[in-house]
Amino acid sequence: MTKRKGNKRLVVTADDFGLSLEVNEAVERAHREGILTSASLMVSAPAAADAVARASRLPRLRVGLHLALVGAVPVLPPAQVPALIGDDGRFRVGMARYGSAIFFTPTGRRQVAAEIAAQFAAFRKTGLALDHVDAHKHFHLHPTIAREIIRHAMRYGAHFVRAPCEPVGVLAAAEARPRGLEARLIAPLAAMLAAQLRRAGLRTPDQVFGLAWSGLMTRTRLVGLLANLPEGLSEIYTHPATSGGFPGAAAGYCYAEELAALTAPEVAAAVAKSGAQLGGFADFY
């Protein structure tokens, strides 16, 4: 960890841990050689077992649950979650209609609750300490999913849940670029989630960065964010991989560039200059 100055604390997370060997290799490299302190594990993903093996030999890497309910393979047998999956046996991807079905139908609510419970249980079976919880595509902004996450996070001892509250002023100081429609829509939902988490006695970062530049967290952007990092607990989430093109890779994501950014000497220097203490969420509890 860097020496703490003031009250700046920083968690640097890689999402989609376990999605592929390319992602897993990048997580290990970014942690060993760079500023990465945390990873969020997709427990049903193709390379989850490899991710767990790597995390087991990286004692300083904090690992949380990346709840995957969109486009992923369920932990439960498909016959137990038919309302949530398509003909390909994967979770549906049309989040508006999918989210409505979960919210308005008792069947959808029961099945999503069962799958969330199964993913928490699968994480426990890894033997890793549960550092935090977040969700693929921020689907935990959905009130039904948020309620289940809160219930299970408290049961499994996860004290931190991500609420993606991204301060536009810091983004503008780091790089002048207006936020897109998705970010504007998410902002009030993220604020509501943060308040809900705190009422339940759970913690969430004071600010989170990664939404506006999802899959595009370059060296310049990281340096800009670090130069303007606010006081309090911040999370920067990223999507590194050694290369793109693997099954499940997101179109337009600059995976290798994000890995290069996380391991760049100028980024490490920017962390030191910021005075922020690096760690995982468990290090700040």
Burial of 180 (0-12, 13-18, 19+ CB in 10 A): exposed
pLDDT given for residue 2 in this prediction: 39
pLDDT higher than threshold 80 for residue 131: yes
Q: What is the structure's pLDDT at 185?
A: 78
Q: Are strands 133-135 and 207-209 parallel, antiparallel or unpaired?
A: unpaired
What mean pLDDT comes out for the span 188-200?
Answer: 95
pLDDT value for 180: 56
Q: Please write the tens of the pLDDT for every residue from 69-121.
A: 999 999 999 999 999 999 999 999 888 889 998 999 999 999 999 999 999 99
State residue 77's pLDDT score. Answer: 96
Give the global pTM.
0.94
Q: Tokens in use for 251? A: 């179109």
The answer to whether 238 touches 15, Cβ cutoff 8 Å, is yes
Indicate the pLDDT class of residue 179, thresholds 50, 70 and 90. low
Mean pLDDT of 132-151: 96
pLDDT, mean of residues 124-146: 96
**Using 50, 70 and 90 to split pLDDT, how confident is the model at 176?**
confident
Q: What is the pLDDT of residue 5?
A: 46
Residue 273 has pLDDT above 50, yes or no: yes
Q: First vs last Cα of the chain: how many Å apart?
A: 15
| Domain limits, the chain | 8-284
Question: Which of the two residues, 43 and 3, has the higher pLDDT score?
Answer: 43
> Rounded to whole angstroms, how far apart are CA atoms 262 and 249?
19
Widest Cα–Cα separation across the chain: 53
Number of helices (H) and strands (E), helices first, in the chain?
10, 7
Quick one: fold of 8-284? TIM Barrel (3.20.20)
Mean pLDDT check: name the lowest of 77-86, 98-107, 179-188, 227-236: 179-188
- Structure confidence at residue 127 (pLDDT): 97
Q: Are 46 and 22 in contact (CB under 8 A)?
A: no
pLDDT higher than 50, residue 257: yes
pLDDT at 4 over 50: no
> For residue 213, what are the contacts with CB-CB under 8 A and spacing of at least 6?
221
Q: Which of 20-29, 165-174, 220-229 has the lowest mean pLDDT?
A: 165-174
